[in-house]
Amino acid sequence: MGLAIKGQRGKGCPVLICDSCRRPIGDWNRAIVNFAPTLDGSVSDIRIYHKGKCDPRKGCWIPLRQYFPWLMCNHNWGIRKHTNKGDRLTMEVPEPLEI
């Protein structure tokens, strides 16, 4: 998975890099997480792609915007609130780090 830190205006900012074209993914609404189907106990690596021409169109995939809340819920990160409209997950975001 293309996790990276990019220097911007003297601060370190987290970014995601497409596993196909190796360029930063600017619009996370147009990104997908791709993985192989899993059996009980097996682990599948994930890959992140720009949706469209970088997408390998094989295996299983979900939108990136669904993957991160799913990951956080499974590891008890964030604050969960149950409302009439469904569950809501809230998290605190730190300021960018000085580099």
Res 71: pLDDT = 83
Looking at residue 96, its pLDDT comes to 60
User: What is the per-residue pLDDT for 77?
Assistant: 75
**What is the torsional sign of CA 47, 75, 81, 95?**
negative
| The predicted structure's pLDDT at residue 94 | 62
pLDDT value for 39: 83
Q: Along the chain (99 residues), what's the average pLDDT of each consecutive run of 10 residues?
A: 82 90 92 89 90 89 88 75 72 61
The gap from C-alpha 72 to its chain's centroid, in whole angstroms, comes to 10
Q: What is the pLDDT of residue 51?
A: 92
Question: Residue 36 and residue 51: Cα distance in Å, rounded?
Answer: 17
Bridge partners of 89, per DSSP, are 80
